[in-house]
Amino acid sequence: MQKYESTVNGCVLFTRSASLDAYLQPPHSALVESYPIFGASSNDLQTRFPEWVFERIREPNEKFANDFSNGVYTQDRRFVRHVSSLLSDPKSSPFVLLDEQRRAFDLIMYELEERFSGASRPERLVIVVEGPPGSGKSVLAAQLWARLASHPEVDGNVVLCTTSGSQRSNWESIFSNVAQNAAGAGLVVPANAFNPGLTPQWVKSTRLLGHEMPVSGWKDNLEVFKKSGKQWRSPDLHFAATIVDEAHALIDPTAPNAEGTPPSGWSVHAGPQAWHIIRSSRVSMFLMDSEQSYRDNETTTPSSIEQFANDLGDTQVVKLSLAGAQFRCGGSKEYTDWIEGVLSADGPTMDSRTWRRSSQNLEGKFEFELVSTPRKLEAALRSRFEQGASVRLIASYAREWVTKKEPSPHGLPGDRKDFHFEPPQQDDGDPWSKIWNYAPEQDYTYFVQGRPGTPIGNDPLCEVGCPYVVRGFDFDFVGLLWLPDLVWRTDHWEVQLEHVFETAWPRTKAAVKRDMEDSQAIANLMLRVRRGYRILMTRAIKGVYVWCEDPETRDHLSSLIR
């Protein structure tokens, strides 16, 4: 409500819950301090809530109420420029451009300056930046946001768009910390926010009126929605610039074989997320790596983005590549190429001695070690942590998340945790037990950032992170639990379906279960599992330690690094 220069106060009224004790405890307590909560008790409804409202309303204003209800999101330019200056300053910014990142940044800014200075400019500009893991896409996204947010030719909202719960909570935390203000989180927008307003309830009621509303007819669905008189939540060209990090995770329900995949909060009847992002933005940038499309519903590709841009008309498309850049994994492209080979059917084409640091090769760029037990895996990482390094345990989704709904999973007995391994017979030690990444309210900053006061903030090795949570983030050293979902058998890789617990692959797993001889279905499952391990094995900056549960797989990996 910037044009009114009004003060907006927030609160929450629970109309069905009288007891609010659970919401007054961490991690909610900090939020409640800023936005008070009221329940359905007689004291709240008759006294506390009315008094809170009356203290803040000076006089009735129907026009203001309607404008507030129908208004659209607009950024405070002074606040945005303040955050931009902090992100741009190397002394305060967690994001500093290097080498190929700088080159890509300059190329993108050249295209933007051409657009700003051109006498006749297209209505929309779409930029697609492809790059492998560790090529610096997130750093580039942050610095592009900072430059555009303070650019004199940019008039309107500049947002960083996220495509997962882990990515969103961590980006919001980063922006809030840089701004030293909780409002910084408002500069981050989830991809689901680009839905013009279609909801399951609206789809259901519209079908009762005689409209079929098929996903394949999503454009007709949008016309029906427009004619219903409802205001679009994300109007055309509302955003000056939208920068999408991890754009390979965008949902396109119209992609081949995408029918029936879980929408993760997106209305599939509205069509592709990328199409709506382009529609709503004068400039949209997509930073992506198609080989990190991990879940069944992550179906957006560079070619489909170009197709959506052309479909909207009067749109310029620019493509850039960060291929060859590597700022993770010790800066070793040789290691990432080796990993690609390890996970392929043919095996690596290069000797690990070209990149692997060891007692025989002190000049190697990156560490890669196999260990014999989970306890030794943890011990190796703990030694690095004591030297000041950031460390995490990670694994593919080859263990069921049995502690997901437990309020205090760390306090459970070892045999009730997600990971529980008995020691080898020759070892008299205790069992080794861990839980999956604890994320109350889907706040993945707990695991990724190790927030102070949390269990993992006190001990970075008390939990295990999955590909979904760590994708897009990195640590100095990681310890990988290579579990029996992906195993080596004689001369090839196999997926053991009974050890695959990834809940975001319902379509892929169902196809294999229907026909265990379906080679295409098995190949699709293998692709997903390999991508998960590719994500996990490219999270480290300095080194990876690996424990293999399956002996034959362990022997195979050992043979590749001898």
pLDDT per residue as tens digits for the range 223-266:
999 998 888 888 999 999 999 999 999 999 999 878 766 667 89
* Gap between the Cα atoms of 12 and 40, Å rounded: 11
Q: Do 246 and 164 meet the contact criterion of CB atoms below 8 Å apart?
A: yes
**Which one has a higher pLDDT value, 523 or 430?**
523
- pLDDT of 368 above 60: yes
pLDDT band at 155 (very low <50, low <70, confident <90, very high): confident
- pLDDT tens by residue, 198-232: 999 999 999 999 999 999 999 999 999 999 888 88
- pLDDT of 390 above 80: yes
| pLDDT of 61 | 82
| pLDDT of 498 | 96
Mean pLDDT of 112-130: 85
**Which one has a higher pLDDT value, 557 or 119?**
557
| pLDDT of 162 | 96
- pLDDT of 425 above 80: no
pLDDT band at 438 (very low <50, low <70, confident <90, very high): very high
480: nearest Cα among 533, 430, 423: 533
504: nearest Cα among 449, 537, 466, 470: 466
* Gap between the Cα atoms of 562 and 557, Å rounded: 9
Mean pLDDT of 73-93: 85
Please name the helix (run of DSSP H) or strand (run of DSSP E) that holds residue 444, with its range, or none. none
Q: What percent of the chain has pLDDT over 90?
A: 61
- pLDDT of 464 above 60: yes
- pLDDT of 99 above 80: no
- Is the backbone of residue 72 left (phi > 0), alpha (psi -120 to 50) or beta? beta
* Gap between the Cα atoms of 45 and 408, Å rounded: 32
- pLDDT of 1 above 60: no
| pLDDT of 389 | 95
278: nearest Cα among 321, 320, 307: 307
One of 2.60.40, 2.30.29, 3.40.50, 1.10.3470 is the CATH number of 77-114+122-282+289-297+304-321, namely 3.40.50
| pLDDT of 47 | 93
| pLDDT of 427 | 67
- pLDDT of 484 above 90: yes
246: nearest Cα among 415, 424, 97, 468: 468
Distances (CA, A) of 496 to 304, 422, 487, 500, 544: 32, 22, 8, 7, 24
The CA angle 426-429-434, to the nearest 5 degrees, is 120
Highest mean predicted confidence (pLDDT) among 28-37, 325-334, 493-502: 493-502
| pLDDT of 430 | 85
What does the mean pLDDT of the chain come to?
A: 90
HSE value, Cβ hemisphere, 13 Å, CA-based, for 386: 6
| pLDDT of 487 | 97
- pLDDT of 475 above 70: yes
| pLDDT of 333 | 84
Q: Do 334 and 364 meet the contact criterion of CB atoms below 8 Å apart?
A: no
Q: Do 417 and 403 meet the contact criterion of CB atoms below 8 Å apart?
A: yes
Highest mean predicted confidence (pLDDT) among 79-93, 419-433, 458-472: 458-472
* Gap between the Cα atoms of 199 and 210, Å rounded: 17
Amino acid present at 560: L
- pLDDT of 119 above 70: no
| pLDDT of 261 | 67
What is the pairing mode between strands 486-489 and 492-495?
A: antiparallel
What are the extents of the domains in the chain? Answer: 2-70, 77-114+122-282+289-297+304-321, 329-560
| pLDDT of 232 | 86
**Which one has a higher pLDDT value, 66 or 274?**
274
